[in-house]
């Protein structure tokens, strides 16, 4: 393989993750520092407020963030408090997607902020990179809680193999797709 081949490091996952993590700052993805800030607030408060959820949704998906304002404040606190207590990836994502403005991709920001050692921010770019790496078949443009589970399993496998946190593997997968994709996202 040539050195300029964007897929040249696929046989070396450590190098793949490291190279694409370095590239992540060049993308339009959620800033890791912001996600860490949300996570600190979430853990210290035990829940997130509607305003905090709006900020997180805005960082993730500017176009649909305004929907978050449709949620009653008490519901936002209840759902995010319960999402911390529930077992299972499917249940956590499904619970958060019960809030207006949160589809699975945006909900993944909430769980990744809470626990980046178990979760990652996912979207169509992450799915596409996992597909290119041979972990998934076919492309996908919208996601539900079951699709989150489908993506987080290979993300955790890559994390286990490389020693990176799942949240960092997710960032690397996002940056890889941003780097190699021809044309627009949708």
Mean local confidence (pLDDT), 118-123: 96
Confidence of residue 152 (pLDDT cuts 50, 70, 90): very high
What pLDDT is stored for residue 9 in this prediction? 47
Dihedral sign, Cα of residue 148, residue 149, residue 154, residue 155: positive
Q: Which two tokens stand for residue 23?
A: 């590239």
What pLDDT is stored for residue 3 in this prediction? 47
Tell me the three state secondary structure of residue 34: helix
User: For residues 6 and 1, what is the distance between their CA atoms, to the nearest angstrom?
Assistant: 10
Mean local confidence (pLDDT), 132-141: 91
Determine if residue 119 is left, alpha or beta; phi over 0 gives left, psi from -120 to 50 gives alpha, anything else beta. beta
User: For residues 141 and 91, what is the distance between their CA atoms, to the nearest angstrom?
Assistant: 21
pLDDT in tens, 55-68: 999 988 778 799 99
Dihedral sign, Cα of residue 170, residue 175, residue 180, residue 183: positive
Confidence of residue 185 (pLDDT cuts 50, 70, 90): low
What pLDDT is stored for residue 60 in this prediction? 85
Mean local confidence (pLDDT), 61-78: 92
What pLDDT is stored for residue 181 in this prediction? 85
What pLDDT is stored for residue 180 in this prediction? 92
**Dihedral pair phi/psi, residue 112, rounded to 5°:** -70, -35
What pLDDT is stored for residue 186 in this prediction? 44
Mean predicted lDDT score pLDDT of the chain: 90
Show the CA angle centred on residue 65, arms to residues 121 and 49, nearest 5°: 80
Out of 2-6, 34-38, 130-134, least confident range: 2-6
pLDDT-above-90 percentage for the chain: 80
User: For residues 77 and 141, what is the distance between their CA atoms, to the nearest angstrom?
Assistant: 29
Nearest to residue 90, comparing CAs of 155, 49, 35, 143? 143
CB crowding 25-47: b at 16 or more within 10 Å, else e: eebebbebeebeebbebbeeeeb
């Amino acid at each position: 393989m040539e050195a300029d081949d964007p897929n040249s490091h696929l046989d070396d996952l450590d190098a793949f993750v490291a190279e694409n993590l370095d590239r992540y700052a060049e993308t339009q993805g959620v800033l890791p520092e912001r996600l860490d800030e949300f996570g600190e607030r979430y853990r210290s408060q035990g829940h997130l407020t509607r305003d905090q959820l709006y900020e997180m949704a805005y960082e993730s998906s500017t176009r649909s963030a305004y929907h978050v304002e449709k949620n009653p404040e008490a519901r936002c606190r209840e759902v995010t408090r319960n999402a911390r207590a529930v077992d299972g990836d499917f249940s956590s994502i499904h619970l958060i997607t019960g809030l207006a403005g949160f589809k699975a991709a945006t909900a993944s920001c909430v769980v990744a902020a809470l626990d980046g050692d178990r979760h990652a921010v996912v979207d169509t770019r992450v799915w596409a990179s996992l597909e290119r790496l041979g972990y998934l078949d076919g492309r996908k443009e919208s996601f539900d809680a079951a699709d989150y589970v489908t993506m987080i399993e290979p993300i955790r496998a890559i994390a286990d193999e490389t020693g990176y946190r799942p949240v960092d593997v997710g960032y690397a997968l996002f940056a890889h797709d941003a780097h190699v994709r021809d044309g627009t996202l949708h």
